[in-house]
C-alpha cells in the first residue's frame, strides 16, 4: 500500500504559505505609512492644542485676578482702606499688626501664584487706580505680547 499522507501534507503547507494563510506581520512600507500619518496628525493638531493651553492659562490668570480683587474689596470694606504695598496680598490671610477692624482671612486658601508659577504684583496706592494688581504673564517680565503680555486689573 502506498502512503499518500506524508507527501500530500507537505504540499498543502507550502500552498497555504504561498496564499498567505499563515501568520503574517506588517511590512516595513506599511509601518512607514502609518508613521507618516501619525507625524502629519501631530504636526497639525499639536500647535492647535498648545495654543489652547496658552489661552486657558491667560483666562485662569484673569479669574484669579478677579478673585483677588473681590478679596481686596472685602478687606477695604472691613478696614476702610486697601492693604499697604508693604503688607501685600498676605494681608488678606494674616492680620497686619496695625489693623484693628480686620475680619479675615479673606481667601479660603493661600495667595495663589499665577498660572506660570510667579507671584502676582500688588501696589497700593496704584499707578492706575487705588491699587494695581497684575501678572507679568508667561515670561515673568514687564511688557510682552501674546501669552507673555501683562495681565492687569485696569
- pLDDT tens readout for residues 13-57: 555 555 555 567 888 888 899 999 998 888 887 777 766 666 788
The pTM of this model reads: 0.63
pLDDT of amino acid 152: 85
Q: Is the pLDDT of residue 108 over 60?
A: yes
Better pLDDT: 5 or 138: 138
On average, the pLDDT of the chain sits at 82
Query: Quick one: average pLDDT of 117-135?
Result: 90
Residue 133 to residue 76: CA distance in whole angstroms: 15
Residue 152 to residue 134: CA distance in whole angstroms: 4
Q: Give the pLDDT confidence of 56-80 residue by residue, as tens digits.
A: 888 889 999 999 999 999 999 999 9
The strand pairing partners of 152, in sequence order, are 134
DSSP SS3 for 53: helix
Amino acid at each position: 500500500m502506498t502512503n499518500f499522507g506524508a507527501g500530500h501534507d507537505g504540499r498543502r503547507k507550502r500552498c497555504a504559505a504561498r496564499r498567505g494563510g499563515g501568520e503574517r506581520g506588517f511590512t516595513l512600507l506599511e509601518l512607514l505609512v502609518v508613521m507618516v500619518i501619525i507625524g502629519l496628525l501631530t504636526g497639525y493638531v499639536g500647535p492647535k492644542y498648545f495654543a489652547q493651553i496658552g489661552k486657558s492659562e491667560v483666562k485662569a490668570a484673569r479669574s484669579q485676578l478677579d478673585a483677588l480683587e473681590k478679596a481686596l474689596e472685602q478687606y477695604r470694606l472691613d478696614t476702610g482702606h486697601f492693604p499697604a504695598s508693604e503688607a501685600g496680598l498676605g494681608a488678606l490671610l494674616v492680620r497686619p499688626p496695625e489693623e484693628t477692624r480686620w475680619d479675615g482671612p479673606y481667601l479660603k486658601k493661600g495667595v495663589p501664584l499665577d498660572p506660570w508659577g510667579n507671584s502676582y504684583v500688588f501696589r497700593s496706592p496704584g499707578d492706575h487706580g487705588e491699587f494695581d494688581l497684575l501678572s507679568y504673564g508667561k515670561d515673568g517680565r514687564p511688557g510682552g505680547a501674546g501669552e507673555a503680555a501683562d495681565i492687569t486689573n485696569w
